[in-house]
Amino acid sequence: MRDVTAVSSASSAPAGTAVEEKEAPVQDDAAGYYTLGDPISDAKAPRGPIDQRWTQRIFDARLVNPANRRKLSIIVVGTGLAGASAAATLGEAGYRVQAFFYQDSPRRAHSIAAQGGINAAKNYKGDGDSIHRLFYDTVKGGDYRSRESNVYRLAEVSANIIDQCVAQGVPFAREYGGLLDNRSFGGVQVSRTFYARGQTGQQLLIGAYQAMERQVAAGTVTPYARHEMLELIVVDGKARGIVTRDMVSGAIETHLADAVVLASGGYGNVFFLSTNAMGSNVTASWRAHRKGAFFANPCYTQIHPTCIPVSGEHQSKLTLMSESLRNDGRIWVPKRAEDCDKDPRDIPEEDRDYYLERIYPSFGNLVPRDIASRQAKNMCDEGRGVGPMVGDKRRGVYLDFAEAIQRLGRSAVEAKYGNLFDMYSRITGEDPYQVPMRIYPAVHYTMGGLWVDYDLQSTIPGLFVIGEANFSDHGANRLGASALMQGLADGYFVLPNTIRDYLADGPFPAVAPDAPEVVEARADVEDRVQRLLSINGSRTVDSFHRELGHIMWEYCGMERTAEGLRTAIERIRALREEFWRDVRVLGTGDSLNQSLEKAGRVADFLELGELMCIDALHRRESCGGHFRAESQTPDGEALRDDANFAYVGAWEWGGDPSAPVLHKEDLVYEFVEMKQRSYK
Ligand SMILES: Cc1cc2nc3c(=O)[nH]c(=O)nc-3n(C[C@H](O)[C@H](O)[C@H](O)COP(=O)(O)OP(=O)(O)OC[C@H]3O[C@@H](n4cnc5c(N)ncnc54)[C@H](O)[C@@H]3O)c2cc1C
């Protein structure tokens, strides 16, 4: 494992930090659940003016000459936006790339679902946007829990992404005059979101996929469809390969390379119900974590405010209604609980509470997601939710387009949001042009992920992590339209410039297929598959997953308490024990077997879930997507504790899911002043 703890956080902190002196140690709610390791430092970001750090790093990172690139091989796991853009760019540069994904085509990656748009600091609207403003909005939106250097780089690179995608032919929406159009997303007061109707992810993915396919045709990228990574191979402390299962034939294979890049997406499906694709999972990251990669801020989960509400126990998936709808849709609930079961069209204006516009007049319906979600929950908890009763409460609020249709005309609304309206109407049977949509928050995105340094390298040398799979640049809350930006920034621009510094040490000694580390990793996968198949218990994999999801949502969802989190940890431990005793995995290992695939993923979720709860328990503050009931302002807003928690919590595998080791990376703010966030 790389010694990232060598430079103490104190010595790495440049002057000008806004973090206060530490006061008396805060009460540690998680004492006994973890041990404390050495602090860590990300020493890769150059010092100096923030707008020159990335240029400096590009220059400092060593080069690999084109002839030598052909001798170096890179495994990329995942071909969503992050992985496909990385594979295409690394292939184009001349490296030998092997790209793995579990779908039948890269075009089916979860990235295809992204609807609303992608941010970039182009200032096309001339409304005061700039790289610095995008940087500032993102640091503030993330509730001051992200790294300044990374976020600045993201803002800087954002404009290049749009140019790259336009050159590829991505059909971004255009204004009447032919210029690229923009719309607004939450947490900002400018319009910087580029979009392709409600299908931005799909169009961007087609661009990245085509760029990758060009390299497939050129022979630099070899795709491995329907291959699931089930283990990382580490030789002499370096990432040198992966073990996969061919999901069609069941064959367990080893693949070796000089470096490994994980672009395997987020882990929101630990909650069972989420807006993520059904196959999204944590397995690739978790296997790497167990081999020594730190997992950072696992408890930071984004709960998106505009999803179609849960309709019953039968459901296995939730559907997002894009945040872009909040540009024109107005969110409200009835002022009086007794009006909640009325037809909304019969409730007059004066009896409606447009609560976001009332509480946050500056940002109104475009407050960040964490705030909009929490307020929707508050309204429902007050008994003013709408729609059918779920348990003892109505869990829904209105998203109303009546005013927009009157102002813009139905055809203009249809042109902007038509496919989203159609989707809503197909799922709910209601016509949103006539009746307000009903929405409720749902799990959507995970800000946590594998810890990476400024070079996007994990704590295992040679293992790089990009896209939603890393703990990324979003702090405790991601602003809308920033995930696509980060995934493509990582894949097209950042990783290709940083991985070469590592590869410049090559050529690396060849790893023999029968090296002990390779044989052992492969045997571990085979044993695990056999173990899952042989339990032959009485409960389905889905029933375990659903129960885990209930626990996570109840205790580690929109609001968390110390008592609830301790309960969750105990229940997850018991559930995990029961899983390995009583799960029933159907079929055999030598063919297509979805029950087996799911079982492996749920087994990893059962370990991750505990770490998420321990992380949430130890962080006795509220920040972004992590709301601790014990830490709130008198008016119920999230209350951060910068004196004690202005750090990244990076967890090391301690040999057992219940024995994690915490390493803290202090966050230093030199260019943005840390303040209590206000969108009022
Ligand atoms: C409904 C929805 C709408 C969204 N809309 C927006 C939006 O408008 N704007 C925005 O910025 N963000 C949006 N997001 C978030 C954004 O789409 C994702 O964060 C982003 O697409 C993730 O990209 P990725 O490349 O990191 O991962 P993914 O697209 O999730 O790709 C993961 C890849 O890894 C592969 N993989 C995973 N595990 C394994 C394994 N073990 N072995 C082999 N392969 C593996 C998969 O096959 C896949 O190719 C939205 C998310 C959702 C759910």
CA distance 62 to 473: 24
Cα separations in angstroms, 118 against 123, 144, 419:
14, 22, 18
Distance 563 CA to ligand 1 centre (A): 33
Q: Are the C-beta atoms of residues 420 and 321 closer than 8 Å to each other?
A: yes
pLDDT at residue number 566: 98
How many residues in total does the chain contain?
Answer: 680
DSSP assignment letter at 109: S
pLDDT at residue number 14: 37
Q: Whose CA is nearest to atom 14 of ligand 1?
A: 114
Q: Are the C-beta atoms of residues 476 and 447 closer than 8 Å to each other?
A: yes
Q: In a mutational test of the pocket of ligand 1, which residue from 76, 89, 100, 101 has the highest number of ligand atoms less than 8 Å from its CB?
A: 101
Is the CB of 671 inside a 6 Å radius of any atom of ligand 1?
A: no
**Furthest-apart CA atoms within the chain: distance in Å:** 75
pLDDT profile of the chain (680 residues), mean per 10? 55 39 69 97 90 97 97 98 98 98 96 94 95 96 96 98 97 92 89 93 98 98 98 98 98 98 98 94 98 98 92 83 89 96 96 96 90 92 91 91 96 90 93 95 96 98 98 93 97 98 95 97 98 98 97 95 98 98 96 97 98 98 95 90 97 97 96 86
pLDDT at residue number 615: 98
369 is catalytic: yes
CA distance 592 to 105: 16
pLDDT at residue number 17: 39
Is the CB of 263 inside a 6 Å radius of any atom of ligand 1?
A: yes
Q: Whose CA is nearest to atom 12 of ligand 1?
A: 483
Nearest Cα to Cα of residue 501 among 452, 451, 449, 461: 461
Distance 300 CA to ligand 1 centre (A): 17
Q: Are the C-beta atoms of residues 95 and 72 closer than 8 Å to each other?
A: yes
Q: Whose CA is nearest to atom 6 of ligand 1?
A: 114
Is the CB of 487 inside a 6 Å radius of any atom of ligand 1?
A: yes
Q: Give bridge partners of residue 539 from the DSSP assignment.
A: 583
284: which 2 tokens? 């690739």
pLDDT at residue number 675: 87
Nearest Cα to Cα of residue 133 among 180, 181, 179, 191: 191
Q: Whose CA is nearest to atom 53 of ligand 1?
A: 276
Residues with Cβ < 8 Å from 393, sequence gap 6 or more? Answer: 380, 381, 383, 385
Q: Are the C-beta atoms of residues 256 and 511 closer than 8 Å to each other?
A: yes
pLDDT at residue number 7: 42
Is the CB of 80 inside a 6 Å radius of any atom of ligand 1?
A: yes
Q: In a mutational test of the pocket of ligand 1, which residue from 110, 137, 231 has the highest number of ligand atoms less than 8 Å from its CB?
A: 110
Is the CB of 185 inside a 6 Å radius of any atom of ligand 1?
A: no
Interaxial angle between packed helices 148-168 and 131-141, expressed in degrees from 0 to 180 and rounded to the nearest 10: 120
Residues with Cβ < 8 Å from 489, sequence gap 6 or more? Answer: 153, 154, 157, 158, 161
pLDDT at residue number 72: 98
51: which 2 tokens? 């707008």
CA distance 71 to 507: 7
Is the CB of 334 inside a 6 Å radius of any atom of ligand 1?
A: no
In ligand 1, the atom with minimum distance to the C-alpha of 485 is 11
Annotated catalytic residue: which of 57, 147, 369, 576?
A: 369
Beta strands in 135-226 (DSSP E): 193-194, 221-224
3-state secondary structure of 643: helix
pLDDT at residue number 25: 57
**First and final C-alpha spacing in the chain:** 46
Distance 467 CA to ligand 1 centre (A): 8
Is the CB of 283 inside a 6 Å radius of any atom of ligand 1?
A: yes
Peptide bond into 507 cis (omega under 30): yes
Distance 302 CA to ligand 1 centre (A): 14
pLDDT at residue number 21: 45
Cα separations in angstroms, 642 against 15, 24, 34:
17, 13, 21
CA distance 255 to 257: 7
Q: How far is CA 312 from the centre of its chain?
A: 26
3-state secondary structure of 110: helix
Distance 201 CA to ligand 1 centre (A): 9
Is the CB of 502 inside a 6 Å radius of any atom of ligand 1?
A: no
CA distance 568 to 113: 31
Cα separations in angstroms, 394 against 340, 371, 509, 644:
9, 20, 62, 38
Distance 202 CA to ligand 1 centre (A): 11
CA distance 368 to 187: 4
pLDDT at residue number 587: 95
Nearest Cα to Cα of residue 294 among 126, 458, 415, 509: 458
Q: Whose CA is nearest to atom 31 of ligand 1?
A: 80
428, amino acid identity: T
Distance 282 CA to ligand 1 centre (A): 12
3-state secondary structure of 269: helix
Q: Whose CA is nearest to atom 47 of ligand 1?
A: 101
CA distance 344 to 322: 22
Residues with Cβ < 8 Å from 381, sequence gap 6 or more? Answer: 393
Cα separations in angstroms, 517 against 92, 241, 321, 458, 525:
31, 10, 46, 19, 13
